[in-house]
Structure 1
Amino acid sequence: MKTNKLIILTIVAAFFASCESQLENDPKQREDAAITLTTEKGVTDVLSGTYSIFATGDVYGGRLQVSADLLAQTGVTATTNFRWRGTFATFRQMYNKSMLVDSGLIQAIWQRNYEIVNATNTVIENIGLVEDPEKAKTMVAEAKFLQSLAYFDLVRFFAKPYDATITNSQLGVVIRPKAIYDFDTDLSAERSTVQEVYTLVINGLNQAYADLPVDNSFYANKYAAKALLARVYLQQQNYSAALSAANEVITNSGAELSPTYKDAFNHDVNQIEDIFAIQITKQTGDNQLVNHYGSEKVGGRGGDIEIRANYLNKFSDPNDERRNFNYINPDNGRRLTSKFTNEFADVPIIRLAEMLLIRAECNFILDSAVGATPLDDINALRTRAKAATFTSVTLPLILNERVLELAMEGFAIHDIKRTKGSISAAYPWNSDLLVFPIPLRETDNNKKITQNSGY
C-alpha cells in the first residue's frame, strides 16, 4: 500500500492569513486573490496552500499535539506522567491550568484552523474552474477532509466535551459556511453548538470518504477519511459507528503494523503503518514534536517534556519495548521519548495502531468480536512491542494500553474527557480550566461571540 504523507508546500494563499481575526490586508493581497480565483491553477494552488497551513508548527506540525498532552498533566504529583521543563510561557500555562485569553499560541491554533476553513471553502466555491470532473471531485473531497479535521480539533480544544448522555447544546465554535473574500465585512457570529459542529464534521468526512480515491499520492485518501471518522465517533462515544469505521480501515486499507515499535517513528519515507502523516524535509521545515520532546543532539530544545516514573510504572512487563523507548539526555539528566529524534521525520497523524485500539475498546463495550476479539487486538500490539501477552482483558486495561501505545502523540486530554476521567480532584474531565479560552483578538473583533466560562 502507498500510504499518505502531507508534504509541506511552499504555496500559501496569503489572503487567508487573517480571515478570522479581521486583521487588515493590503490591496496587493486582495488583487492577488482576485487573480488567483480565475484559473484552475489558482484553485489548485489554494488547495496546496491549505495543506501547507495544515502542516505548520502551530497546529498539526506538532504544537497542537503537545497542547493535548500538557493539558492532561499538572504539576509534579503522583499521577503526572510527563513534566513540563521548558521555558515557553503558554505551554507552562497549559501545564499549570492558568491559560490566558491573550496567549499567542492559543490564538495561533484558533487562527490557523480558521485559515484552513476559509481556504477549503474557497476551493469548494470555485471548483467550477477545474475542468476534469474526477479531479474536481477529489479536490472537494480533500477540502472536506481538511476542513473536518480543523473543526474537530477546534471543538475539542475550545468547547466543553461531547457527552453522549446529553443533547450537546453547549457552545462549540463558530461555523463559517462560506469563504471570506472581503475582510472589511463584519464577521461577528455566535458559536454553534457542539452537536452542530460534530454533525458538520461527520457529514464532511462521509462525503470525503465517498469521493476520495483509495490511492491519492501524498494527500488524504479514502481510508484517511474513514480512520478520522473512527476517531470522531469514538470521541462521541458512538461505539458501534467507531467500530465499523475502524474495522473497515484495518480490513481494507492495506495498512499493517510496522515490524517493530521503533519502526513506526522517525522515518522520512512512507511506512506501512501510516494512515495519514505529514512529511517534513530539510527544505521545508522541522518537526515541532522533536523540538519540544527531543534533546539538543537530535535537534530539539533539550527536552521540554520529561518522562516521569509514573508513566514507566504503567507497564506490566519491564521488557515492553514501548516502556524502554526513551533515553537520558546527558546534558540535563532528563528522560526523553525516542519517538521524536529526527527533526525532519514525518509527523504522525493517524497510525494503524490507533484503529486496533478503537476496535478493541468498542468490541469490548459492545460485547462483540467484529474483525477480531478485543484480546486479539491488544495482544497484536503487545506482541509487536515484545511484551507478555494477556489471557483476558478489561476496559481499564484496554484504556491503559492506549496510554502505553499512543503517549505523546496528542491523545491524552481527549481520552480523559471522553471517558469522563480526571487529571486530579481539582481538574475533572469537564473542568472549565481544561478548555482553551476564546482568544482575546477574536472577542475584540467578534461582537457576538461568547467567551468560555472561567476566562
Structure 2
Amino acid sequence: MNSSIKHWLYIGSVGFLLSSCADRLNVVPTQTIEQSQALNTEQDVQITLTGAYDGLSDREVYGGAIQFIGDLVGDNRDVLFGGTYATIDEIWRKAVTPSNTVNRDTWLDSYNAINRANNVLSALDKVGESSRGAIEGQALFIRGALYFELVKIYGKSWNDGTPSSNPGVPLVLTPTTSITDADYRARNTVAEVYTQVLADLTKAESLLPTEPDRGMGFASKGAAAAILARVYLQQQNFAAARDAANRVITSGVYSLEPTFADVFSDATNESEIIFKIIVTDQDGVNDMNTFYASALNQGRGDVRVQTKFRQLYAAGDARGTFFNTAGQNTFTSKFNDQYGDVPVVRLAEMYLVRAETNLRLNTSVGATPLADVNLIRARANATPLTAVDLAAILLERRLELAFEGQQLADIKRTAGTVGTTPYNANNLVLPIPQREIDTNKQLVQNPGY
C-alpha cells in the first residue's frame, strides 16, 4: 500500500469517522480527534464501527462499484454501456488502465473501511462483555467480506493456476496509525487471503446476532453465512457452500417475497434481503440507480439492457418483463428508487447455491435441486421444470441474479468465457492501481498491465 492510502486510512480511522457518521448517530460533527483519545470508551468503538459500515457503503464499495465491476467485466453485450464515464466504459470493454479512478477508489475505499474495522478489533478491551461479541462480529464481517471482494477483483480465480502462489492482495490485519517501511506490504497469495476471509467470516457468524438489525443495516449470522456460501462456492468447496446456504434458509429468519417486484421495493423486501446497504436522502449512495436506472427513474441511463438478454426469459416469467423503456433504450427495474437500499445478498441466491451444490454432490440436503429451482421459478410465475441439470441451474442464476454483481464470479468459477474471452484471461483481472505501484515498490502488477 502506498502513502496516500496510509494517509487516508489514518484520517478515516482517527478523525473522519466522527464527522462522516454524524447523521446516523446524531453527534456533533468532529473534524479531528487526538489519536490517544480516539478509542478510549465503548462509545468510541461503536462510533468507529458505524464509520466502518459507512465506509462499506461508499459508492466505490458496496454502494455500487463492486456490483457493477462484477456485471460489466463479465458482460458479453447483454448490456450496452452508453454513458460518458470513460472509467466505467473501460471496465465494460475489459480494457481497464492502471490509472482508472474507479478502480483506484475501489481499492482505496475498501482498505479504508478495513482499517476502520481493524481499529474496532484493536479496541475490544474497551467494550463491555455484553456487547463485545456482537461488535467483534460486525468488524470481522466487514473485513472478511471486503477481502473476498478485493481478491476476486485483483487476484486470479481460485481455479486458475495455483492459489498458494498466485498473488492476491496485501493483508493488513492491524490498524494503520503511522507510516513506516513496514507498512509497504507485498501481496499475500490468493490462498492466504481466502484463509483469512474464511477465518473472519466463520468467527463473525458465531458472534453475530441471529436477528438482523434491518433499520441500521448491520450484519447478522445469516449475512456472514451467506457470504461464506459465496466464498466456498468460489473455491468449489461444494459441501461447505451447501451447508452455509442451508443454514441461512433453515434459520427461519428470512423468506422469499411473494412477487419478484417486491424484492426490489424497500417497502416490501424486509424478509428476503439478507444484507443490504442502507440509503437515505441524508446518507448513503445508490450507484446502481445512478448507472442502471433511466432518467425517468433519476438515473443516468448508462447500462442499457439488450434484446439478446431479455430473450433468455420464457413467456410468462415475471423477471422477463421487469424492465422499463425510456426512448429507444431498455433498463432493468431493479434499481428504480434513487434512495432505495442496495441489496448485497438475498435469500433467492441461497436457494440457488443449495440447488447447485446438492446437484454436484448428488445430495438433497434441505430439498432436492429441482424443488429449490422450482421454488424460485414459481415466485416469478415461470413454468416449473420437470428436471434440472447443471446448465439449467446456472441459467436460473443468470435469470434471477442479473445485474446484482455475480456475473463475473460465476463465469470464473465455472471456467466459462466472456464471449470468446476465457475466464483466466489477463484482462478479466483488474490492475493494481498505478498510484499503489508507484509508491509501494513491493507490489507486483498483474500480468497484461
**Scaled by the length of structure 1, what TM-score is found?**
0.90
Contact 1:19 1:180 in 2 (8 A): no
| Alpha-carbon distance between aligned partners in 2 of 1:424 and 1:214, rounded to the nearest angstrom | 42
Match of 2:434 among 430, 435, 440: 440
Equivalent residue letter for 2:306? R
Q: State whether structure 2 residue 179 is matched by structure 1 residue 194.
A: no
Instruction: After TM superposition, list the pairs within 5 Å mapping 1:191-230 onto structure 2.
Output: 191-217=187-213, 218=216, 219-230=218-229
- 8 Å CA contact 1:19–1:183 kept in 2: the answer is no
Q: 2:43 aligns with which of 28, 41, 53?
A: 41
Alpha-carbon offset, residue 285 of structure 1: 3.8
Q: Deviations along 1:274-307, whole A, 9 cap, x unmatched?
A: 1111121112144111110111121101x11111
- Opposite residue 366 of structure 1, the aligned amino acid is L
**Taking every aligned residue pair, what percent have the same amino acid on both sides?**
37
Alpha-carbon spacing, 1:133–1:258, altered in 2? closer, same or farther (3 Å): same
Q: Which amino acid aligns with 1:172?
A: G
* Cα deviation 1:123-143 (Å, max 9, x = unaligned): 11111111x212111111110
Q: Which residue of 2 aligns with 1:92?
A: 89
Which of 179, 202, 205 is residue 175 of structure 2 equivalent to? 179
Given the alignment of the two structures, is residue 272 of structure 1 paired with residue 277 of structure 2, yes or no? no
Give the letter for the 2:299 counterpart: G
Q: Which runs of 5+ in 1 are unaligned?
A: 1-16, 75-79
Structure 2 gap segments, 5+ residues each: 16-30
Task: Give me the whole-angstrom Cα distance separating, in 1, the residues matched to 2:9 and 2:136.
Answer: 29
Partner of 1:244: 243
CA distance in structure 2 between the partners assigned to 1:268 and 1:197 by the alignment: 37
The residue that corresponds to 2:60 in the other structure is 58
Cross-structure match for 2:230 = 231
Cα deviations by residue, 1:252-276 (Å, 9 ceiling, x for unpaired): 1421110000000031576110111
Residue identity opposite 2:363 in structure 1:
S
Q: Which residue of 2 aligns with 1:8?
A: none
Displacement after TM superposition at 1:33 (Å): 3.2
Instruction: Measure, in 2, the Cα distance between the counterparts of 1:422 and 1:416.
Output: 6
Residue 215 of structure 1: CA displacement? 2.0
Alpha-carbon deviations, 1:405-454, whole Å to 9, x = none?
A: 000000011110000000122x2100110011000111112121111001
The aligned residue for residue 159 of structure 1 is: 155
1:367-418 deviation digits (Å, cap 9, x = unpaired): 1111111111110111100010000011011000000000000001111000
Q: Distance in 1 between matches of 2:239 and 2:162?
A: 18
2:71 alignment counterpart: 69
2:44 counterpart letter in structure 1: G
CA displacement at 1:183 relative to structure 2? 3.4
Q: Does 1:450 align with 2:444?
A: yes
2: distance between equivalents of 1:72 and 1:234?
18
Supply the AA of the counterpart residue of 1:213. Answer: P
Deviation at 1:163, TM superposition (A): 1.3
Task: Show structure 1 runs of 4+ deviating over 4 A.
Answer: 21-31, 164-167
Q: Distance in 1 between matches of 2:283 and 2:3?
A: 22
Matched position secondary structure for 1:306: strand
Paired residue for 1:103? 100
Q: Is the 8 A contact 2:48 2:120 kept in 1?
A: yes
1:320 is matched with which residue? 317
Q: Is the 8 A contact 1:250 1:356 kept in 2?
A: yes
Counterparts of 1:390-429 in structure 2, within 5 Å, are: 390-425=385-420, 427-429=421-423
For residues 236-263 of structure 1, what are the alpha-carbon distances to aligned partners after superposition, in whole Å with 9 as ceiling and x for unaligned? 1110000011011101142111000000
Q: 1:401 to 1:168 in 2, by over 3 A?
A: farther
Q: Would you say how many aligned residue pairs link Structure 1 and Structure 2? A: 429
Q: How many Å separate the matches in 2 of 1:408 and 1:248?
A: 25
Aligned-residue offset at 1:184: 5.3
Give yes or no for the alignment of 1:263 onto 2:262.
yes
Aligned residue in 1 for 2:5: 20
**TM-score, scaled to structure 2:** 0.91
The Cα of 1:25 is off from its aligned counterpart by: 7.1
Deviation track 1:169-216 (CA, whole Å, cap 9, x = no partner) reads 200100012111113555211111101100100011110011111125
SS in 2 for 1:323: helix
